[in-house]
Amino acid sequence: MRYQRHICSGIYLVALALFFCSASCAVAQRADSPEVSRLLSQAKTAALLADNDAAAMDTFAYSKLSGQSKALELDSMKEHVNNLGKVHKQLTDARAEGSPWQQEAIDRIDPLLRDLAAQINSTINYLNDMNKNQSKANSEQYLNYTHANADLTGRMADMIRDFVEYGKAKSKAEALSRKLELPTSGTGQ
């Protein structure tokens, strides 16, 4: 009989521990941060502008435009990527406030942004060299640079746009769930 009481007490303690653990885990899940959502929207705008510039640059690569005209488009893309870098810095600073999916978005932007910055610097260096040597103006290497810029900015813009759309859809689903008075899962995701 004493043995059964100890087992029952042990089971009770385990159940109680599981209850508090699940309750604290549910509290530990962060809600979406409005600030991070706002910054992700700003990042989306900057990425889309850079993507438009890169697409134009890729098209211009086949034209007879001067190196100076091509450099102006590259400068515009660089400015938009720099703006994206500034927003990403703010996102990184606000990362701890974000929900798990927002933190994942911030983490995924970083390596693409680094690759894009390196690619743009390589393109700038090549374009500077190209301006000194006009025979390189429509070279295959220059086309490779413009294609790589377009590819990276396209992937960046698509990814950030998808995260922003996910956040909007998630917010809408949560609002509908509250309206319909559905039980919550407590996962926060």
Each domain of the chain, given as residue ranges in start order, spans 1-30, 32-179
- pLDDT for 184 equals 74
| pLDDT tens readout for residues 32-83 | 999 999 999 999 999 999 999 999 988 887 777 776 777 788 888 899 999 9
**What 8-state DSSP symbol labels residue 7?**
H
| CATH architecture of the region 32-179 | Up-down Bundle (1.20)
Report the alpha-carbon distance of residue 151 to residue 123 in Å, rounded. Answer: 14
Report the alpha-carbon distance of residue 122 to residue 14 in Å, rounded. Answer: 60
Percent of the chain as helix, strand, coil, to the nearest 5: 85, 0, 15
CB 150, CB 57: distance < 8 Å: yes
- Please tell me the pTM assigned to this model: 0.76
- pLDDT for 65 equals 73
pLDDT classification of 138: cutoffs 50, 70, 90: low
Report the alpha-carbon distance of residue 134 to residue 137 in Å, rounded. Answer: 5
